[in-house]
Amino acid sequence: MILPPPAQPSQPVAQVDTPALLLDLDAFEANVAAMARFAREAGMRLRPHAKSHKCPPIALAQIAAGAVGVCCQKVSEAEAMVDGGVGDVLVSNEVVGAPKLARLAALAGRARIGVCADDAGNVAALDAAAGAAATTLDVLVEVDVGARRCGVAPGEPAVLLAQAIAACANLRFAGLHAYHGAAQHLRGVGERSAAIARAAAEAQATRDLIERAGIACPLITGAGTGTFAFEAASRVYGELQPGSYVFMDADYGRNDWEGLPRFAQSLFILTTVMSAPVAERVVVDAGLKAHSIDSGMPLVHGRAGLAYEKASDEHGVVAVAPGAARPALGEKLRLVPGHCDPTVNLYDWIVAFRGATVEAVWPVAGRGAFY
């Protein structure tokens, strides 16, 4: 079941049913423009990550501002983007298993499709799938530059895999995927900068080895919202993949941003006070099914003395500090989600507003697209 949208264009934001995912268009458009300008001035390709928004109208806005395409994490997410009009998608992840490989290869008949690999057997399977679909896939070697998740080790293992890809009839070796996820939320600017300096050095050394082996390595891609300025400064990376910058969230808000480009909070959860039983707390209608607390609690936006303290499945307990104005039963509050990506994935619709008025309601077409 997909529920009907909680709002209609031209409706007052105050009338939007709750919980709802609100997007402040002024802040969103400024974020899209700022990242595009940064990439342009840095001479970098920009390929924003669509796993954050899963929403074709947002991808198209990013591309209109200069992005070369988008990243996705899953084949079904990439399908949603291509269905929505995106012509160039990098699945910045490994794709494993015959059904998914067949879908990925078929998608390459409708758009330019890239994918990552960190295993020689998987490379052979990618080649076979592309051959069966009579398509060609761009394949990047994923190198573990510090995230300790997927990816081969820098150096010789990456060279062997690049050689395997280059030898495949239906694959193009497209470069290195060197994303350092674990660095994005290191709080200090210096920590993040140092982590990316190490990552860039490992990626550079790996590229040198690959090119010495006679294989052109056209691109090193990576970076997220927490570190993109450091990848850009490295002169090693050629493409940036930030996703969260379009929305921002409470956890990114806890990073130190001194001296770095800043982005505005554009994403909010609209929630209603559904119970106000005592002076020191109110209960709102947005709990664990309306936002993800994996990176901490949401913040109550623009209201002093209110702290979202505890989430249960369908409730949020908001503490009211002594002396603070207690919201009334039925009043609507805005929350800044703790972590934007898994929060957006809970919603079928993004309610885009400007000022006090709903301007558009966009489908989260890739919601639940985890196959």
User: Between residue 63 and residue 82, which ones bind a second copy under the rule CB under 8 A?
Assistant: 73-74, 76, 80
> How near is the Cβ of 21 to a second copy at its closest, in Å?
11
> CA–CA separation, 332 vs 315, rounded Å?
14
Which residue lies nearer to a second copy by CB, 65 or 361?
A: 361
Subset of residues 17 to 56 that bind a second copy, contact rule: CB under 8 A? 17-19, 51
With CB under 8 A as the rule, give the number of residues binding a second copy.
71
Subset of residues 158 to 187 that bind a second copy, contact rule: CB under 8 A? 181
Which residue lies nearer to a second copy by CB, 61 or 293?
A: 293
Which residue lies nearer to a second copy by CB, 239 or 341?
A: 341
Which residue lies nearer to a second copy by CB, 257 or 371?
A: 371
206 binds a second copy (CB under 8 A): no
Among 31, 62, 93, 255, binds a second copy (CB under 8 A): 93
> How near is the Cβ of 329 to a second copy at its closest, in Å?
6
Subset of residues 305 to 324 that bind a second copy, contact rule: CB under 8 A? 311-315, 317
Strands 267-278 and 281-284: antiparallel
> How near is the Cβ of 371 to a second copy at its closest, in Å?
5
> CA–CA separation, 307 vs 94, rounded Å?
40
CB of 267 closer than 8 Å to CB of 249:
yes
> How near is the Cβ of 197 to a second copy at its closest, in Å?
22
Which residue lies nearer to a second copy by CB, 88 or 348?
A: 348
368 binds a second copy (CB under 8 A): yes
Site mask, a second copy, residues 226-255, x = CB under 8 A? Answer: ------------------------------
Which residue lies nearer to a second copy by CB, 95 or 336?
A: 95
Subset of residues 256 to 285 that bind a second copy, contact rule: CB under 8 A? 272-278, 281, 283, 285
Buried b (16+ CB within 10 A) or exposed e, 149-174: ebbbebeebbbebbbbbbebebbbbb
Which residue lies nearer to a second copy by CB, 15 or 357?
A: 15
Stretch near a second copy under the rule CB under 8 A, chosen from 13-21, 33-41, 191-199, 204-212: 13-21
Print the SS3 string covering the chain: CCCCCCCCCCCEHHHCCCCEEEEEHHHHHHHHHHHHHHHHHHCCEECCECCCCCCHHHHHHHHHCCCCCEEECCHHHHHHHHHCCCCEEEEEEECCCHHHHHHHHHHCCCCEEEEEECCHHHHHHHHHHHHHHCCCEEEEEEECCCCCCCCECCCHHHHHHHHHHHCCCCEEEEEEECCCHHHCCCCCHHHHHHHHHHHHHHHHHHHHHHHHCCCCCCCEEECCCCCHHHHHHCCCCCEECCCHHHCCCHHHHCCCCCCCCCCCCCEEEEEEEEEEEECCEEEECCCCCCCCCCCCCCEECCCCCEEEEEECCCCEEEEECCCCCCCCCCCEEEEECCCHHHHHCCCCEEEEEECCEEEEEEECCCCCCCC
- Amino acid sitting at position 178: A
Among 29, 88, 94, 191, binds a second copy (CB under 8 A): 94
Which residue lies nearer to a second copy by CB, 30 or 160?
A: 160
Among 250, 341, 353, 361, binds a second copy (CB under 8 A): 341
Tokens of 58: 């947002």
DSSP lists the bridge partners of residue 311 as 316
Subset of residues 98 to 157 that bind a second copy, contact rule: CB under 8 A? 99-100, 118-119, 121-122, 144, 148-153
225 binds a second copy (CB under 8 A): no
Stretch near a second copy under the rule CB under 8 A, chosen from 87-95, 225-233, 234-242, 250-258: 87-95
